[in-house]
Structure 1
Amino acid sequence: MPVVVATGYSSAVDPETGVALAARQAQVGLGGASCDLAIVFVSGDHVTEVDAVMATIHEVLAPDELVGCSSGGLIAGGQEHEHGTGVAIWAISVDEGRADVFELRTRPVEDGLALLGMPDPDAGTSSAIILLADASRLPLEGTLRAFEEHLPGVPLIGGVPSMVPPDGRPLLHDRGATDAAAIGIRFSGVEVLPCVSQGARPIGPELAVTAGEGGVIQELAGRPAIEALRETVDGLGAEDQARIRHGLLLGLVVGPGRPEYGAGDFVVRGLAGADPEAGAVVVGAPVEVGQIAQLHVRDPETATRDLEDALRLRRAAAGSGQVAGALAFTCNGRGHDMFGHDHHDADAIQRELGPLPLAGMFSAGEIGPVGGRPFVHGFTATVAVFLA
């Protein structure tokens, strides 16, 4: 039997009634296949009823593994539920593959934090990792670099919960909330295609980083970074100048000295600060001398085209393979506020890849690869596409 994905959703306020309904929908969608893993996303009043939520899923769906998190909004099918109470369940039967759950925790050490619970790199070949991360308990960038070193080349897709319950524990595992810093699912023997749409496009000339370290760029193209960027902005057309007034974005090609790269190889970051006297700018990403930098703009039209293009590339990459389903993590700054209408990202995924079982959440940080390296993003949609 191939990989089977199924989903369920309910907005019923009573946790047992609503969760049972969503779990039965997922059970029917599996078509008699065993549930090897279920991921549950809860919003609204359900975030304080997680014990009942998890117990009901165990009773109805009987998954081998059950994880999840709280969120400010849910994705289910072709719809996005940005507000209110609800539960979305994503279930998978992995056939002869594996879906191994692990928890990450941190421990204070002399020079910072030690990361505990990383999956064993020698325990078979990993096809992808789904990561739900509590940013209040985990240094995200450092954790992603640890994954890059520990499991190089393995796609990492996931998100940061956008709602934290009163007890401060947004992550769920087995029977209830957990104080873990992150929950991961390591897939083996299951084909997963990562999709990342940052919703931004490059404008102006490309500029090489000629001096910089950490998250600070001192020089671009041999000139003070502020001076080079100011000249670039002055040379833009009126339309692009109007767009960057909402926030200046800088894209950095992942990896210095790459001879070939495209728009999807830029990690896009906002400018976090500047030092006018030194002519330096601060970006929310590590920089290296030799990297190519380019200004970017983000707007609804660009974000729509970027997501559609990214999804079409994944559809092409799947070839003749059938898409079993998808997990989606979209920024809580997207949705209706960004696009002016509901269900934008979910509708695009269904239009380009579907119809397919889809579930996910609105996130306070989206995790996905750029240039083969994992990053945490903002205003981004990241999607894990599972093939049958």
Structure 2
Amino acid sequence: MSGQFPWAHATHPDWRMSASLCLAQIEQASRSGAGAAATLGFLYLTDHHAAEAGEILAFLRERTGVTHWTGAIGVGIAAGMAEYIDEPAMALMLADFAPDDFQVFSGAARPPGPQARTPDGRRAAWTALVHADSATPDLPDLIQDMCGKLAGATVFGGVSSSRHPQAMIADTVLSGGLSGVVFSENVAVASRVSQSCRPIGPAHRITESSGRRLNRLDGEPALDVLLHDMGMPEGLPPARAAAPGQPSAAIQMLQGTFVGMGSGQAFAHGDYQIRPLIGVDPRAGALAIGTDLEEADHVVFCRRDRGAAQADLIRACTALRETIESAHGGMDRVRGALYISCLGRTGTLFGGPSAEMHLVQQQLGDLPLIGLYANGEIFKDRLYWYAGVLAVFL
């Protein structure tokens, strides 16, 4: 293996034109010609091309000679410093992994087990790129199950945001369940997650909850703890003193508030899931969260705005860059990258169209980068919302 992965992206109503433009870019970027040394193709399509995805895949396979492909279909895709939202577009990248170091999987093709070994004795199921169909039930459980099948227990990827039944690519175009690629221990991947939020206070221990209802934190009414973290000015009426049916000024302040939830141990490493605050019970001092609290035993309240989103993405990129420089010999070792971001992060959150992708490139440099705007993001053993997952191949 040598050099960066050839990659390309294009937009055009006619998929043949987009595919041809992409192949021309690939051929220009690769001294050996399009797909001459490649063994695996990454492909992301907007769902304007969903009905033609099978034809696109067959065309690219014939023109590049690459047999194995993985990817997903969504409302939006990303490439370099560009984002394509709700318009016909495609992005692809070709990798030259050793054939024994990866395996495309789906419901019809099982991945290797955690005990499997490559011919050189390395663990065959170390990390995995996972794409999921949003219509699949029990996705969090399936993701955890997938993580348990890996010796390295590391998963990254996202949930298709396609409005078409065809949602994923795993050597064919398919729907339902999980699909993707399992990589061996020989494939070095560094990854990070950004959640676009900034904590507004310390982590709190959950002392009473039920389902999605958060009743008490650190022994106090959850709403009172939140208002304290927000630094509610003195003189505002207590949250539970408002007239029935009339939200107090304090309750109005809660708009745009999110809840980070997880275990105490996870919080020590900044590893928790962000969920929206969807309601309050002023009289009981309780909060309603956008998902069941399940095994979470701690929460932290967060705000999401442009400044928080930019700062957290910079933090994730900085941590990733430091890992690459300290453990892998520097950024010149980067061969290519995938970025799975939430469709809900597009628009004005980062300052305008493509601002998120510009920020990633500013932090990590000009590197081969394609990705998907997803309906849920996958990192480690969890399903995230409103997150960005960046994975770099070295």
TM-score (norm 1): 0.84
Correspondence list, 1:346-385, <5 A: 346-369=357-380, 374-385=381-392
Q: CA RMSD in A?
A: 2.9
Alpha-carbon contact 1:97-1:187 (below 8 Å) kept? no
Counterpart in 2 of 1:23? 23
Distance 1:68 1:149, change over 3 A: closer
Distance (whole Å) between structure 2 residues aligned to residue 97 and residue 68 of structure 1: 20
Give the structure 1 partner of residue 102 of structure 2: 99
Paired with 2:150 and 2:283, the residues of 1 have a C-alpha distance of 41
**Which residue in the other structure is 1:193 paired with?**
190
Q: How many residues align?
A: 364
The Cα of 1:22 is off from its aligned counterpart by 1.0
Go from structure 1 to structure 2 and tell me whether the alpha carbon gap of 1:275 and 1:323 turns closer, same or farther (over 3 Å shift). same
Residue 244 of structure 1 contacts residue 297 of structure 1 at CA under 8 Å; is this kept in 2? no
What TM-score comes out, normalization by structure 2 length? Answer: 0.82
Q: Gapped runs of 5+ residues in structure 1?
A: 106-115
Conserved? CA contact 2:104–2:171, under 8 Å: no
Q: Kindly tell me: are residues 58 and 269 of structure 1, through their superposed partners in 2, closer, same or farther at Cα, counting changes over 3 Å?
A: same
When Rg is computed on C-alpha atoms for both structures, the one with the higher figure is 2
Q: 1:128 to 1:27 in 2, by over 3 A?
A: farther
1:68 to 47, 51, 71: 71
CA contact (8 A) 2:147 2:154 kept: no
Answer yes or no: is 1:52 the counterpart of 2:49.
no
Distance apart, 1:309 and its partner CA: 1.5
Gap runs ≥5 in structure 2: 118-122, 237-249
Partner of 1:142: 141
2:56 corresponds to 1:77? no
Task: Please give the alpha-carbon distance, in whole angstroms, between the structure 2 residues aligned to 1:30 and 1:295.
Answer: 48
Deviation at 1:21, TM superposition (A): 2.3
Q: 1:79 to 1:163 in 2, by over 3 A?
A: same
Which of 245, 258, 271 pairs up with 1:249?
258
Q: Which residue, 296, 299, 302 being the options, matches 2:302? A: 296
Structure 2 contact 133–175 (Cα < 8 Å) conserved: no
2:5–2:335 contact (8 Å) kept in structure 1: yes
Change (3 A) 1:153 1:190: closer
Q: Is the 8 A contact 2:82 2:354 kept in 1?
A: yes
Counterparts of 1:126-275 in structure 2, within 5 Å, are 126-151=125-150, 153-165=152-164, 168-175=165-172, 177-188=173-184, 189-212=186-209, 215-233=212-230, 235=232, 245-252=254-261, 254-257=262-265, 261-262=268-269, 264-273=270-279
How far 1:356 sits from its partner (Å)? 0.6
Cα deviation digits, residues 132-159 of structure 1 (max 9, x gap): 1002024221112223433365221111
